[in-house]
Amino acid sequence: MIKKLLVGSLLAFAAIASAQNSITSSSTVAGTATTYTFNLVAGAGGQTWNAFSAYVVPGSTLPAFTANASPAAVANVDVFLNGSNTEAAAYLRNFGSELKIDIAQALPQGTTIKVVIKNVINPSAASSNQPASIAFQNSSYSNLNSFSTTFNITSATLSVTEPDTESTQVHLYPNPSADFIRLTHFNANEECAVYDLQGKLVLKQVYNQNKGLNISALSDGLYLLKTMQHTYKFVKSSK
């Protein structure tokens, strides 16, 4: 009996230990949309009404939502407890720089919390060492334990350069183009990335020596094509 209890305790401890605290962001480019994923293991608790708060990088624009709505009714906010795929019953409050989530149930020590906030817009200007955090709180909204991560918001500006030697200079053509763009003196099978002017990745494709890059799915506008060595401006135009 003692052995079974010991094994059970060790397994429970291992489950808690394996659920590490973390905060991730899908993009740290200034002015772009990103998704934050917060993970926290409650270090204390057990009250019948608890809450936790998630803070994104200061200066970010959070998605709008209906006050006092449940996470299950909000497209841009997901809340999960203890590894469940079903969203927790809760109310979202004070959605400013902080997302406060009230849970109408006890959240004892070891409870795993996952909060996903989608379509957050990063600050428009680059900044360094900006903290995002999540805190587990009691019924008085006092922090029982918290976790934070610092992010470096980078500039959306991509430098545009050209090779110096004319005989090996890479030219992009046709420009503007409605469907395909090509590069002279360029290696086939090299991966290329296309960004909009806000720094958002909109296309990633391996260069085809015969056809070039297919940009037909892009909306009309000005883009930046980035290769391993250089970045080039081009215009997508269907006219």
State how far the alpha carbon of 172 is from the alpha carbons of 98, 145, 231, in Å.
Answer: 46, 54, 10
The pair of structure tokens assigned to 226 is 């980035």
The pLDDT of residue 121 is 86
Model confidence over 121-163: pLDDT tens digits?
888 888 888 899 999 888 777 888 889 999 998 886 554 444 4
Categorize the per-residue pLDDT at 215 as very low, low, confident or very high, splitting at 50, 70 and 90.
Answer: very high
Distance CA 69, CA 87 (A): 13
The pLDDT of residue 68 is 87
Section 30-49 average pLDDT: 85
Section 55-82 average pLDDT: 89
Model confidence over 81-124: pLDDT tens digits?
999 999 999 999 877 778 889 987 888 889 999 999 998 888 88
The mean pLDDT of the chain is 80
Fold match between domain 21-153 and domain 166-236: yes
Residue 133: phi, psi to the nearest 5?
Answer: -150, 160
CATH class of the structural domain 166-236: mainly beta
Categorize the per-residue pLDDT at 19 as very low, low, confident or very high, splitting at 50, 70 and 90.
Answer: low
The pLDDT of residue 162 is 45
Biggest distance spanned by C-alpha atoms of the chain: 81
Q: Which residue has the higher pLDDT, 229 or 50?
A: 50
- Given a cut of 90, whether residue 49 has pLDDT beyond it is no
| Share of residues in the chain with pLDDT > 90 (%) | 23
The full set of domain ranges for the chain reads 21-153, 166-236
Tell me, what amino acid is at 131?
P
Distance CA 181, CA 190 (A): 14
State how far the alpha carbon of 72 is from the alpha carbons of 42, 75, 82, 136, 200, in Å.
Answer: 22, 8, 16, 20, 28
Superfamily of domain 21-153: Immunoglobulins (2.60.40.10)
Section 22-46 average pLDDT: 88
- Given a cut of 70, whether residue 170 has pLDDT beyond it is no
The count of other CB atoms within 10 Å of the CB of residue 145 is 17
Residues in the chain: 239
Section 43-55 average pLDDT: 82
The pLDDT of residue 179 is 92
